[in-house]
């Protein structure tokens, strides 16, 4: 029998208890009726792949992301996973099934039930172990609630947990940030994702920050004013970035991607698929896919999705060779192992030097890129300025 290549599935759940003040993701609160309708629409979309070639490929990872997938009930999540198992080829023992969850959205019983559904990796959105920071971000939970969720998942037998953290938060200082990192590492999660806050225009946090900034002309205005909302300056932000690398390494976490750290053997398979340009199918509102060198996107219009519309044809992009080479480089270089030379040559019938020789040489001579017989990767200094380097790989 022909051996089919694996596929990964992303399932988007666009609901949250409440919108966080910094968030510009495709997510919003919704009532139970809408959530129920959404699950039915998702199951319909999953079912539509029955008897397609995709459904015969082994599913190697499923990622329930959002939004906050854990706002759905155990029954609703079970329905989605069952539909995937009914209509795709999922090997229970060889499939990473991740779910994002937020503290405050699951009690002990729910954590146990979710594990029983076969979810074998949880990604908990903590963001900060400091309750004052959590309040300023408009998060719905406290650190205590996070500890409860984490403990219940462990009790239920989950042995693969990611914790999401953010740095450069309003009112955050380097010392507190480092203390917080130690606190989280002491818990011993298998994986930590660490990102810097980006103030997105149009979010309440962006508006609050700039209105306080303007009102005080940049001067402090006391504990409840601008002081506690001021963002770390560039030096302090860089300090947090370097402390993240240093502290996580000291606790035995290997940095395998610019913002992702894991204990040996716990890199997230699903996310590696994105960076290595493996094929994946996105299901649900606004979900993106990479299939047959096409980037596809589902509609972001919720009523239209509930009414049965899925792919937004206007967003479909057929990638030419140039696009694919560029993606191979700027996605692949995000990973510390870098870009596989042989794979590049097999895919494009040219060596990576034949296409990118001058750029590679430029950054190699600056000590920002290194090459081995098998791979091309950023050096530690190169990772610090990765965005500038990535831009140079656009043909």
Complex with ligand SF4: residue 28 or 178, whichever CB lies closer: 28
Complex with ligand SF4: residue 77 or 325, whichever CB lies closer: 77
Closest approach of Cβ 28 to ligand SF4, in Å? Answer: 8
Complex with ligand SF4: residue 6 or 286, whichever CB lies closer: 286
Closest approach of Cβ 287 to ligand SF4, in Å? Answer: 14
Asked if 162 touches ligand SF4 (CB under 6 A), the answer is no
Read off the DSSP letter of residue 54.
G
Read off the DSSP letter of residue 5.
P
Q: Give which of 68, 79, 59 is closest to 25, Cα–Cα.
A: 68
Q: Which stretch binds ligand SF4 (CB under 6 A): 18-26, 41-49, 165-173, 206-214?
A: 18-26
Closest approach of Cβ 47 to ligand SF4, in Å? Answer: 27
Asked if 195 touches ligand SF4 (CB under 6 A), the answer is no
Asked if 282 touches ligand SF4 (CB under 6 A), the answer is no
Complex with ligand SF4: residue 102 or 328, whichever CB lies closer: 102
Beta strands in the chain (DSSP E): 7-13, 58-66, 89-90, 96-101, 121-127, 161-167, 191-196, 254-257, 260-262, 280-283, 288-291, 294-297, 317-318, 339-340, 369-371, 375-378
Closest approach of Cβ 15 to ligand SF4, in Å? Answer: 8
Among 6, 7, 46, 66, indicate the residue that binds ligand SF4 (CB under 6 A). 66
Complex with ligand SF4: residue 146 or 363, whichever CB lies closer: 146
User: Which residues have CB under 8 Å from 39's CB, separation 6+?
Assistant: 72, 76, 79, 80
Q: How many CA atoms lie within 13 A of 286 on its CB side?
A: 14
Phi-psi region of 117 (alpha: psi -120 to 50; beta: other; left: phi over 0): alpha
Among 9, 11, 23, 355, indicate the residue that binds ligand SF4 (CB under 6 A). 23
Complex with ligand SF4: residue 124 or 283, whichever CB lies closer: 124
DSSP states along 180-246: HHHHHHHH--SEEEEEE----TTSHHHHHHHHHHHHTTT----TTTHHHHPPP-HHHHHHHHHHHHH
Closest approach of Cβ 386 to ligand SF4, in Å? Answer: 24
Confirm if 223 and 216 have CB atoms less than 8 A apart.
Answer: no
Complex with ligand SF4: residue 39 or 325, whichever CB lies closer: 39
d(C-alpha 335, C-alpha 267), whole Å: 11
Asked if 72 touches ligand SF4 (CB under 6 A), the answer is no
Residue 161, strand partner residues: 122
Give the binding-site size for ligand SF4 (rule: CB under 6 A): 11
Task: Quickly tell me which residue has 């955050």 as its tokens.
Answer: 172
Complex with ligand SF4: residue 202 or 265, whichever CB lies closer: 202
Phi/psi of residue 123, nearest 5 degrees = -115, 110
Among 6, 7, 9, 27, indicate the residue that binds ligand SF4 (CB under 6 A). 27
Asked if 25 touches ligand SF4 (CB under 6 A), the answer is yes
Complex with ligand SF4: residue 49 or 195, whichever CB lies closer: 195
Q: Which stretch binds ligand SF4 (CB under 6 A): 63-71, 170-178, 337-345, 358-366?
A: 63-71
User: β-strand 191-196 against 288-291: which pairing, if any?
Assistant: unpaired
Sign of the alpha-carbon torsion through 139, 140, 144, 148: negative
Complex with ligand SF4: residue 16 or 83, whichever CB lies closer: 16
d(C-alpha 95, C-alpha 118), whole Å: 10
Around Cβ 306, how many Cβ atoms within 10 Å? 16
Asked if 20 touches ligand SF4 (CB under 6 A), the answer is yes
Among 19, 277, 324, 345, indicate the residue that binds ligand SF4 (CB under 6 A). 19
Residue list 99-138, contact with ligand SF4 (CB under 6 A) = 102, 125
Asked if 171 touches ligand SF4 (CB under 6 A), the answer is no
Sign of the alpha-carbon torsion through 314, 26, 29, 282: positive
Asked if 68 touches ligand SF4 (CB under 6 A), the answer is yes
Q: Chain-centre distance of CA 355, in angstroms? A: 30
Closest approach of Cβ 369 to ligand SF4, in Å? Answer: 34
Asked if 67 touches ligand SF4 (CB under 6 A), the answer is yes
Among 7, 9, 16, 247, indicate the residue that binds ligand SF4 (CB under 6 A). 16
Residues that bind ligand SF4 (CB under 6 A): 16, 19-20, 23, 25, 27, 66-68, 102, 125
């Amino acid at each position: 029998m022909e051996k089919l290549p694996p596929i990964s599935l992303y399932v988007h759940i666009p609901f949250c208890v409440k919108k966080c003040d910094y968030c510009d993701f495709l997510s919003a609160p919704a009532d139970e009726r809408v959530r129920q309708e959404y699950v039915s629409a998702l199951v319909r979309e999953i079912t539509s792949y029955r008897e397609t070639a995709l459904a015969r490929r082994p599913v190697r990872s499923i990622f329930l992301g959002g939004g906050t997938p854990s706002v759905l009930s155990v029954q609703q999540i079970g329905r989605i996973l069952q539909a995937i198992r009914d209509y795709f080829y999922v090997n229970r023992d060889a499939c990473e099934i991740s779910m994002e969850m937020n503290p405050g959205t699951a009690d002990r019983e729910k954590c146990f039930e979710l594990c029983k559904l076969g979810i074998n990796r949880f990604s908990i959105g903590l963001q900060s172990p400091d309750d004052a920071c959590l309040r300023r971000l408009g998060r719905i939970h406290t650190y205590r609630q996070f500890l409860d969720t984490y403990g219940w998942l462990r009790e239920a037998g989950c042995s693969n947990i990611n914790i999401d953290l953010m740095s450069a938060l309003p009112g955050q200082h380097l010392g507190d940030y480092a203390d917080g990192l130690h606190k989280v590492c002491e818990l011993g999660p298998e994986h930590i994702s660490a990102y810097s806050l980006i103030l997105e225009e149009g979010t309440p946090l962006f508006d609050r920050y700039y209105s306080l900034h303007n009102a005080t002309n940049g001067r402090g205005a006391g504990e409840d004013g601008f002081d506690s909302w001021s963002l770390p300056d560039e030096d302090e932000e860089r300090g947090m970035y370097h402390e993240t690398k240093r502290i996580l390494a000291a606790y035995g976490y290997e940095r395998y991607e610019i913002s992702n750290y894991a204990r040996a053997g716990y890199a997230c398979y699903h996310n590696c698929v994105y960076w290595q340009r493996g094929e994946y199918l996105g299901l649900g509102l606004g979900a993106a896919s990479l299939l047959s060198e096409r980037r596809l996107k589902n509609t972001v219009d919720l009523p239209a999705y509930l009414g049965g519309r899925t792919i937004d044809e206007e967003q479909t992009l057929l990638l030419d060779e140039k696009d694919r080479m560029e993606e191979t480089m700027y996605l692949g270089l995000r990973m510390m192992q870098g870009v596989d030379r042989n794979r590049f040559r097999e895919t494009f019938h040219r060596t990576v030097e034949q296409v990118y020789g001058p750029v590679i040489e430029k950054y190699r001579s600056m000590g920002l890129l290194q090459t081995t017989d098998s791979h091309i990767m950023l050096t530690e200094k190169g990772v610090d300025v990765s965005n500038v380097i990535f831009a140079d790989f656009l043909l």
